[in-house]
Amino acid sequence: MRTWIIPYMKQHKGRMLLTVLVGVLGVASSVMLLFISGYLISKSALRPENIMIVYVPIVAVRAFSISQAVMRYLERLIGHDVILRILERMRTRLYRVLQPQALVLQSRYKTGDLLSMLSEDIEHLQDFYLRTVFPSILSLFVYGALIGVLGLFDWVFALMMALVLAIIVFVIPFISLLVTRRKYIALKQGRNQLYAQLTDAVFGLSDWIASGRIESFLSDYKTDERDLLEIEKRMNRWQHVRNAIVQLVIGIAVMAMIAWAGNQAETGQIAPTVIAAFALMMLAITDALSPASEAIERIPAYEESLRRLQEVETETNDAPGHAPRSAAAAIREANGPAIEMQNVSYRYPESKEDVISGMTLTIDRGKKVAILGRSGTGKSTLLKLLTGALQPTAGNVFINGEQASQSLLAKSLSILNQKSHLFDTTVENNIRIGNPEASDEEISEVVEQAQLTKLLASIPTGLKTPMEEMGHRFSGGERQRIAFARVLLQQTPIVIFDEPTIGLDPKTEHDLLQTMFDAAKDKTVIWVTHHLAGIEQMDEIIFLEEGNIVLQGNHENLLATSSKYRALYEMDKGI
């Protein structure tokens, strides 16, 4: 509440107060409409001799009828305007929270969790204002105003009505909160889990079909969905009971008002013609009070959304910060090493062992370095340290003399991933992501370097060809060439290839590697790979094992001196 709700309420307090004020005026118009209508009916029943006696009430009924509609419209107009402004700021804030962690996002959160957070959690918070904040404030104001007005006539009756209506404003909301708290939380968490299950199943749909387990998945999914429906049914049953109690209390309040007004008329305190006016007035007032119980019971659902948002923001803020630049780093010469790691270690928060342990590495500018190792030896963690997605728990990582951070991405360092995402737009737009300000000549140059010219020339629409979703218009090798052209357009001095040929056939892999190495001949290249195709073109080869370098050298030296490397090379070549 302190970080995701209150700051926005303070920031937009003027518009929010105006919304409440207009809401109060709308309730006041409804109250006066029914009050004067009751009076008009009673007065007309006495058959006044002159129509002018009821002319003013008739005009007042018409005025308050119009006023009620106008005020309700303005309340919704102003209220939704301020809510949309707040949601815009919340979405922007969430984006800025997630954006710095984009490179490690999938390792921390499931896709379904992210979808739930981006859509449901933020969207859900608009109901907090519309269904909780505004109705609650309005109910309290109307409650206080009614008791104050009745106190002017009879403070004993005012106190009695305060106790009766307190059941609607305070008691039932409190009981409703206790009854539904766990159900709302379970429902929210269950929906988030279904989000995660569904997205996981969609991404792995072909594997479900291939394994013949479609019916099994659907059965489990339907079971979970039935559990949530059962929770919803129990909540609906309680809501029916709650509404019945509220209506009973409203009936008691109206009857009490009729009895009191009749007694007041009998003693001459008020005119008999306003007995119906007071009774009808109570209907408008209780109509404004009754939303309070529903408004309060929804709080647990909002708390769950706020907890998830706060958790994401806290994790981002608690992530290890950038280490300050040392004096040595500040005065490094421009011709120094491209990458330098000084006794670097990294341990994930939930782990008891270092993934990278005391690694020291220097890569000179223009060098081509291959990083090999079995799965789990720290290759992915090493790349995240180089890109600044992770900060070392010990030691320092320098990129061109600066402390490694994500601010260096697209400026000093670019990455070609295993499966770079290609958006559902044209080939040109996908390439231009690397540099939106690039000229047509620069686009043509990187297309030539990525050896896409012949392919695009064979398509009538060329660069304007739609990629389709996930780039399905093109083959795997063609998609990687387009992604590589995007990387080249960034024109960074350091390029990281993170197993870019995985899943490709040997011929396509060989051709793509040759294209990449030729185009990046003047750059510093870090190539992470599992096998040794094209390894001869590397200036240096590094083997990782248990988070550190166990083997280092060029291809010829390692062939001559390392039986392990020789065996791996021969195995990879099929010898």
Tell me the three-class secondary structure of 164-185, residue by residue: HHHHHHHHHHHHHHHHHHHHHH
- Give the per-residue pLDDT at 328: 39
In a domain? residue 557: yes
CA 108 from chain center: how many Å? 14
Looking at the structure, tell me whether residues 69 and 155 fall in a common domain.
yes
Residues 159 and 97 in one domain: yes
Same domain, 213 and 359: no
- pLDDT of the residue at 70: 96
Look at residue 329 in the predicted model and tell me its pLDDT. Answer: 40
Tell me whether strands 524-528 and 356-363 are parallel, antiparallel or unpaired. unpaired
Degrees (nearest 5) of the Cα angle 541, 352, 380?
30
- CA 439-451-447 angle, 5° bins: 10
527 and 464 within one domain: yes
Same domain, 339 and 289: no
Tens digit of pLDDT at every position of the chain (575 positions): 777 788 888 889 999 999 999 999 999 999 999 999 999 999 888 888 778 788 889 999 999 999 999 999 999 999 999 998 988 888 888 777 766 555 555 555 555 556 556 666 777 777 888 888 888 899 999 999 999 999 998 999 999 999 999 999 999 999 988 888 888 878 877 877 776 677 767 766 666 666 666 777 778 778 888 888 898 898 889 989 999 999 999 999 999 999 999 999 998 888 999 999 999 999 999 999 988 878 888 787 787 778 777 776 665 555 444 444 443 343 334 456 788 888 888 888 777 888 888 888 888 888 888 888 887 778 888 888 888 778 888 888 888 878 877 777 767 888 888 777 778 788 888 888 888 888 888 888 988 888 888 888 888 888 888 887 767 778 878 888 888 898 888 888 888 888 887 777 778 878 888 888 888 888 888 888 877 777 888 888 888 888 788 888 888 888 888 888 888 888 776 65
Query: Count H helices, E strands: the chain?
Result: 23, 10
Q: Give yes or no for a contact between 116 and 191, defined as CB atoms under 8 angstroms apart.
A: yes
Q: What is the predicted pLDDT for the residue at 116?
A: 59
Same domain assignment for residues 242 and 363: no
**Do 569 and 478 lie in a common domain?**
yes
pLDDT score recorded for residue 194: 78
CATH code for the domain in which residue 445 is found: 3.40.50.300
Q: Is residue 329 part of a domain?
A: no
Other C-beta atoms lying within 10 Å of the C-beta of residue 417: 17
The whole-angstrom separation of Cα 337 and Cα 386 is 14
Residues 375, 306, single domain; the answer is no
Q: Is 448 contained in some domain?
A: yes
DSSP β-ladder status, 339-346 and 356-363: antiparallel
The DSSP result for 225-238, as a single string, is: HHHHHHHHHHHHHH
Domain's final residue, options 318, 351, 381: 318
Query: Which domain covers residue 466, as residue numbers?
Result: 334-573
Please state the pTM of the whole predicted model.
0.62
> Is residue 305 within 8 Å of residue 125, measured between CB atoms?
yes
The answer on 63 and 201 residing in a single domain is yes
Residues 268 and 359 placed together within one structural domain of the fold: no
What's the CATH code of the domain at 172? 1.20.1560.10
Place of tokens 């690039």: 438
The tokens for 539 are: 């200036």
Look at residue 515 in the predicted model and tell me its pLDDT.
86
Specify if 277 maps to a domain: yes
Both 306 and 339 in a single domain?
no
Same domain, 251 and 124: yes
Structure tokens at 133: 């904040």
User: Of 469, 477, 460, which is closest to residue 430 (Cα–Cα)?
Assistant: 469
Whether residue 135 lies inside any domain: the answer is yes
Residue 333's pLDDT is what?
A: 42
Domain assignment present for 324: no
Could you tell me the two tokens for 370? 């291959």
380 within domain boundaries = yes
Structural domains of the chain, count: 2
| Residue 238 within any structural domain of the chain | yes
- Tell me the three state secondary structure of residue 312: helix
